[in-house]
Amino acid sequence: MTVSIARQSVADLGGPGSLLLRQRRDHAELDRLMNAYRAADARDTRREQIWRDFTHLVFSHAFAEETVLWPLLRRLVPDGEGLTTQVEEEHQAVNDLLARVERSADDTERQEWTEEAFRLVRQDIRDEEDALLPRLRDALDDRRLRRVGAVWEAVRRAAPTHPHPAVPRRPPGNALAGVPLSAFDRLRDALPTADASARRAATAVGVALLVALAAGHRIRRAANRRRG
């Protein structure tokens, strides 16, 4: 029987450093940031920092799942394909919505898309804690859960921190495009908020790189198909 990881003990989840505890820690932080954003007044300057912390965590967390965890789940679990397709669709929808929020200047639309993205993030957390992660608990012993946790965390620390809806959700396409984009995201993050033109320039370079990488990926796939 599948048991949600939501209320299991540290020992039951593989001990400190286990993938499942790292996941639960990030999910609790995402929940806290969404609540803090909702509670903050629109004129409160801390709201912008809360938003930045939320987007950094939501995208780096999801990228590392798509790169490390879901391919592993598809290998280990018979219904892994269906389970991971569902959460990848949720990740894609969050990417689409938050990319629109970043581009739009209309406060009403931004508010509406933000609420929808928050709803999807909460759904994603439930799907993972109640269905996907318990499957990994069943398939991996404690030592492996800690090892996968360390790899997942290392990828998360180097992952993109902004929405990139055009990046594929599965390897190798996501890693080919996502890893270089992470450098551009981190450059944008390092620029002062007031330096809007420099941030736009960095974004434009990132988008150009993404288009070039996507084209390269398509060419390689076409070449492989011809060879195969």
66 binds Fe ion, rule: CB under 5 A: no
Site for Fe ion (CB under 5 A): which residue of 66, 88, 128, 185? 128
DSSP annotation string for 111-150: HHHHHHHHHHHHHHHHHIIIIIHHHHHHHS-HHHHHHHHH
Phi-psi region of 172 (alpha: psi -120 to 50; beta: other; left: phi over 0): alpha
3-state secondary structure of 205: helix
65 vs 185, which CB is nearer to Fe ion? Answer: 65
Residues 144-183 touching Fe ion, rule: CB under 5 A, are none
Number of residues engaging Fe ion in binding (CB under 5 A): 5
Site for Fe ion (CB under 5 A): which residue of 124, 132, 167, 177? 124
Q: How far apart are the first and last CA of the chain?
A: 42
User: Helices 46-64 and 173-190, interaxial angle, to 10°?
Assistant: 160
Instruction: Look up residue 34 and give its amino acid.
Output: M
x/- track of binding to Fe ion for residues 4-23 (CB under 5 A): -------------------x
Smallest separation (angstroms) from Fe ion to the CB of 128: 5
Smallest separation (angstroms) from Fe ion to the CB of 23: 5
Part in contact with Fe ion (CB under 5 A); list of ranges 10-18, 62-70, 140-148, 178-186: 62-70
Cis peptide before 16 (omega within 30 of 0): no
List interacting residues with Fe ion (CB under 5 A).
23, 62, 65, 124, 128
